[in-house]
Every structure is written in structure tokens, then in C-alpha cells.
Amino acid sequence: MDNRSEVRAFLGSRRAKISPEQAGIPAHGSRRVAGLRRGEVAALAGVSVEYYTRLERGNLAGASDSVLDALARALQLDDTETAHLHHLARAAGSTPARARTRTSAPEIRPAIRQVLDSMVGVPAFLRTHRFDILAANPMGQALYAPLFHSAARPVNSMRFAFLDPHAQAFYPDWQKIARESVGALRLAAAANPYDQQLMSLIGELSMHSEPFRGWWAAQDVYVHRHGVKRFRHPAIGLLELAHEALELPGDDTPLTIVTYTAIPGTPSGDGLELLASWAATDESHLRATQQA
């Protein structure tokens, strides 16, 4: 992606979302622009109109953290949007020559595999910032059976969500999940601007998915931390599960463990117990097939 274009689109879209009333600015007469004028943003941020104009035209190189934070306050950005702005600024101040490229899958430390396997009764998997699923415990593979049964490798939840015809049945709230996924991918792209595999994934999704193209153009960002997600599992039925995203510091490639839980005794808790039995049966069948 072109950093200057990304900056222009992001700042312009955020400025268009803030009305004068929301910013505490008296509105007089007709306005030719949606949201705030550049001069109004500049005044709220405490910078000159010329400087803000240069920033919004895509030149964030050299902008200090204090200036970026002032812009975030003026545009009423949330924490995720503010982090995205800082990522864009860091990318503007770097060059491709300084970026590290990695084409092979990152190595998974044995301790991480042990952590996944120790989560008995809890679906869990390990993913990259590109949403490639590198490893999963038996429950994780059982929960995401439609992904793992696909021939495409590596297993990628973004490709599944937008390119697999079974995704909308698997996710009852597909539109919400898909839109949030686009925002998470945009955040990852700004934090890893020279990751060619990530850029190829974005290009592939943009080419083949009209919903992805529309949401990508909206410039929204999102971070997967925790929440509740609903699944319509082909063997178990409807599951409503709490998920947690646990980031692993210290790796060259950002890695995240994602877990799913349900309160025991609830329909989804009973469903997880049934999923565990189904996973054990499926695993036994796979071993028997391999030994035959």
C-alpha cells in the first residue's frame, strides 16, 4: 500500500465524521465539506493550517508523538484509531530497505504448543498478524472444522470469511464479524507496511470480494481483544462463546493465541462438551484411517 494515500484517506475520512457541533464549533451558514474544515482541525490541534494540510496530504514523516496525539484529540479518535495513526506515521518515516521480510512460517516454540495442548475443553489456536492459523489444539480444530477441512494452506480466517461459500452459514453474525476483520487487517497492514505476504492477501481479498472492497475503503480500524462470537457449527449447532486474544511478546513475527470459553451449564457450555466428544471421535477416526 502507498503510505501517503493511506494517510490521506484515513485523515480525510475521520475529519468527515466529526460535525462542528461534536467538536464544539459554532456552525454558520452552509458548508461545502462533510464534517470539519481543515482549518478547524488545525485550530483544535494547535497547529497551523499549512502544516495540517501537509499532514493530511499524506506527509506524516517527522510528525512528533505530541502532534499526532493532538490530531487524535481534534478528530476524536479512539485508542485503536490513535494507534493506527501512529503506525502510519512510523511507516512514513521508514523505508523498505530497513524493513525485514519473512517468507517462511515463523517457528512455534515448543512451550507454546504445550500451552495449546494443555487447554483441555477450551478451543484454542495460534495465529499471525496475517490471520494465518499456525497451530490449534484438538478443540480448536473441531470448532473451526470448516476452515481446517478446506484444501487451502495455510489455514487463513480472512480468506475463509470472504472467499469461502460456507462462511456466512458458519458465522450467524457474518456481516459484523467480516467488517471487524477488515478493520483488524487494516491495523495490521499499517503496523507491518512492508510485509509482502500481507499486502498480497489484501490484494487477493480486494480482487475477489466486493464486501471487502467496500469496507476497506471505509478506513475503519478494529482490534481483536475480547468479546463474544457466535458460530453455527455443522455438527454441534449454535454456539455463543467468549473469546480472548492473548498477544505473545518477544517474537519477530507477531503471534496471538485465541481462546474460546462458555459458562458451564449453559446451552453453549453443553455445546462445548459435545464438541469435545465430537473432536475426540474425529481424532480417533483420523488415527485409525492413518494406521489402516
pLDDT for 95 equals 54
| Residue type present at position 188 | A
Residues 6 or more apart whose CB falls under 8 angstroms from that of 108 comprise: 126, 134, 135
Q: If DSSP codes are grouped into helix, strand and coil, which group holds residue 238?
A: strand
Burial status of residue 275 (CB atoms within 10 A of its CB: 0-12, 13-18, 19 or more): buried
pLDDT for 205 equals 97
Question: How far apart are alpha carbons 120 and 137 in whole angstroms?
Answer: 8
Is-contact 75 41, C-beta < 8 A?
yes
Q: How many other CB atoms are there within 10 angstroms of residue 50's CB atom? A: 10
Residue 133 Rama label (left phi>0; alpha psi -120 to 50; beta): beta
Burial status of residue 106 (CB atoms within 10 A of its CB: 0-12, 13-18, 19 or more): middle
Question: How far apart are alpha carbons 77 and 50 in whole angstroms?
Answer: 22
pLDDT for 32 equals 75
Q: Cell 499526532 identifies what position? A: 68
pLDDT for 290 equals 35
* List of domains in the chain: 3-93 (1.10.260.40), 110-291 (3.30.450.180)
**Grid cell listed for 201:** 492477501
Please give the order of strands across the beta sheet that includes 124-128.
133-136, 124-128, 255-261, 237-248, 226-233
Question: How far apart are alpha carbons 107 and 126 in whole angstroms?
Answer: 12
Is-contact 248 112, C-beta < 8 A?
yes
**Grid cell listed for 80:** 485503536
Question: How far apart are alpha carbons 257 and 111 in whole angstroms?
Answer: 13
> What pTM was computed for the model?
0.83
- b/e sequence 161-183, b meaning 16+ C-beta within 10 Å: bbbbeebeebbeebeebbbbbbb
- Provide the total of helices (H) and of strands (E) in the chain, helices listed first: 15, 5
The residues pairing with 255 across neighbouring beta strands, listed in sequence order, are 128, 248
Question: How far apart are alpha carbons 87 and 3 in whole angstroms?
Answer: 10
Q: Consecutive 10-residue runs of the chain (292 residues): their mean pLDDT?
A: 88 92 80 84 94 93 92 94 93 60 70 91 94 94 91 87 95 97 94 91 96 95 92 95 90 87 95 91 47 38
pLDDT for 249 equals 77
Sign of the dihedral defined by the CA atoms of residues 246, 275, 143, 108, in that order:
positive
